[in-house]
Structure 1
Amino acid sequence: MSDVKKIATRDSYGKALAELGASHPEVVVLDADLAGATKTAVFKKAFPERHIDCGIAEGNMMGVAAGLAATGKFPFASSFAMFAAGRAFEQIRNSIGYPKLNVKIGATHAGISVGEDGATHQCNEDIALMRTIPGMVIINPSDDLEARAAVQAAYEHQGPVYMRFGRLAVPVINENEGYKFELGKGIVLREGKDVTIFATGLEVAETLNAAEKLATDGIEAKVVNIHTIKPLDEELVVAAATETGKVVTVEEHSIIGGLGSAICDVLAEKAPTKVMKIGVNDTYGESGPAIELIKKYGLDGESIYGKIKKFYMGL
């Protein structure tokens, strides 16, 4: 897909914030000394009086965001996923989640595609952490268009929202007239009768590539983009699983507690189905070029294709 337009969703986040701020003066953006990396600098340049750099103190940043929300402002608090979800978990849980405050968290640099920054910064656990907070909405957009739509949807939603963005430029796959973003609703990108693949984030594009390869082998895969992991589109999950009888989940996140676990929770209760989870297998990442890491950890289209083919054939 080298000829396809590619944009990092963190860039989309920064631009969407600036656009939102132009029409909504109550929007305030906070960052933890990472405005350049999280792209909140775009908002800072346009509205310096509404941007607050809280320094390398993510827990405090979440407390400031909670206070702003309590006064009627619309704070977007941003940092790397490892620090937003990991370091500030207690403040998010108790100061934002518990009182159901209207704070939006923009977590960038998620997953192993952070690349050379290595294991300490490659957060593969953030979705699992945020899923445990009651009432927290979790959005993991697949491309530029979806990331920008996610920011708007987060603004319109009353309550806390966690948005996950990436550092790596990814293909724009949703640029079509029929595209519609709706919180809690998955999107069927490809029909198929043999196996259903639920994918999220940058893995959606890789999964579409895998589905094309499967088709050449006579395996018709139904591909579903799950941009909202919580609340999950349970109706679509059950219907698709019932239709194909086999399910695969694909995510740039630990196979523990992420999309795969969310899907399995639903199917175990409502439609027991054979499931294979593709993700980071209970291990830390490592330093290296993002594209090479995605291949090494089996999250590229070719690897996904091979795993699903074996799964489908019962090997």
Structure 2
Amino acid sequence: MNETLDPGSWQYRGLNARAPSLSTLADTLNALADEGHPVVAVTADLQYSNGLIGFARKHPERLFQFGISEQNMVSAAAGLATTGFMPFTATFASFLALLCCEQIRTDIAYSALPVRLIGHHAGISLGFYGTSHHATEDLAIMRSIADLTVVSTADGAQFAAAIRASMTWPQPIYFRIARGHDPVVYEKPAPFEFGKAIIHEEGNDLTIIACGTMVHPSVEAVKRLRSAGRRVGLIDMHTIKPLDREAIIAASRRSKCLMTVEEHNVLGGLGGAVAEVLADLGGAPRLVRHGIMDEYSLIAPPTHLYAHYELDAKGIESRALAAIANQGLS
């Protein structure tokens, strides 16, 4: 898809490129470049949708524009990394993870190059653009690639912290972010450490393990559940790989049931990763995987889709209550 718009406007087909997470990308890269880090940005004709136009205006020599040739873009990013640069390569998550899977695996991960892949507008956040533009398989694909770190941040502040932390991280990274309209979960500066989950609450009845866009509605759902006397915990599992196994094991010993929440197919993503840890333990508590149930996502405004799939606060609360009831705890 080609991107055309008035250069004086930040509005593109209803998407606001100045929204928190996406402006964060340009703002953080500008700061890192000013500090002397060898960062460059690479995109496929989406510099307005991902906010990299803000980086291009300040550091025009550091933005590489490839048009709608995403596979070439990823291979070129690998080439840039061999010359001492740290490329941040950004396009829609559906294109990056699916279309460019071979280039990510062979040119970047197999070659152990410090490329940072930014899959934006992930999950079902592109709404009316259609199922072909929804990314509900990307976590499963990316976490199956050896030596590739996979991160799904909750908001702009956490994304900025993750970008900064990546300056000293040895592996290539796939960052999964949403549209950039993310509600605030963390104040700046946000806590972030690769492979170290953030414990919001501890609970004996149920622990919700969420990632990315699902952290904020999970926070709201847990507030309601706890105010009603339910002993429900919440973990922000921002790093899908390497996974914080210790946090999962601790929650499994504390809670009678675990529930993963993700804007992704329930197969292979966060739910699959947690299930693998619990299977290794043997005799672990029941796990409920909440997300998109192995189907192609529908076409509608994102808000309608979140309600339909019960991925809003109300839906997550309802699923949590059902999980608690199934344990005989209601």
Q: Shared topology, TM-score over 0.5?
A: yes
For the pair 1:124 / 2:136, whether they are aligned, the reply is: yes
Cα distance in 2 for partners of 1:293, 1:36 equals 25
| Pick aligned residue for 1:36 from 43, 48, 52 | 48
Residue pairs, 1:1-315, within 5 angstroms? 7-175=19-187, 179-271=190-282, 272-314=284-326
The CA deviation at 1:225 is 0.4
**Would the aligned equivalents of 1:198 and 1:250 in 2 still touch at CA under 8 Å?**
yes
**Would the aligned equivalents of 2:157 and 2:188 in 1 still touch at CA under 8 Å?**
no
Change (3 A) 1:192 1:25: closer
Amino acid at match of 1:242: R
The CA deviation at 1:7 is 4.9
Q: Provide, for residues 228-247 of structure 1, a one-character-per-residue CA deviation record: whole Å limited to 9, x for no partner.
A: 11000001110111111210
Cα distance in 2 for partners of 1:289, 1:24 equals 41
Cα distance in 2 for partners of 1:25, 1:210 equals 40
Q: Which has the higher contact order (CA 8 A, sep 6+)?
A: 1
**Would the aligned equivalents of 1:207 and 1:304 in 2 still touch at CA under 8 Å?**
yes
**Would the aligned equivalents of 1:195 and 1:222 in 2 still touch at CA under 8 Å?**
yes
Give the RMSD, CA atoms, in angstroms.
1.6
Residue 3 of structure 1 is matched in structure 2 by: none
The count of aligned residue pairs is 309
The CA deviation at 1:25 is 4.8
Secondary structure of the 1:19 match is helix
The CA deviation at 1:168 is 4.9
**Would the aligned equivalents of 2:50 and 2:91 in 1 still touch at CA under 8 Å?**
yes
Cα distance in 1 for partners of 2:37, 2:238 equals 28
**Would the aligned equivalents of 2:119 and 2:175 in 1 still touch at CA under 8 Å?**
yes
Structure 1: 5+ residue runs without aligned partners? 1-5
Q: Provide, for residues 122-175 of structure 1, a one-character-per-residue CA deviation record: whole Å limited to 9, x for no partner.
A: 111111110111011011100111011111122221121000111151221111
After TM superposition, the score normalised by the length of structure 1 is 0.94
Cα distance in 1 for partners of 2:241, 2:48 equals 29
Amino acid at match of 2:72: N
The CA deviation at 1:191 is 2.4
Secondary structure of the 1:107 match is strand
Secondary structure of the 1:105 match is strand
Secondary structure of the 1:34 match is coil
**Would the aligned equivalents of 1:113 and 1:168 in 2 still touch at CA under 8 Å?**
no
Moved more, 20-29 or 117-126: 20-29
**Would the aligned equivalents of 2:89 and 2:115 in 1 still touch at CA under 8 Å?**
yes
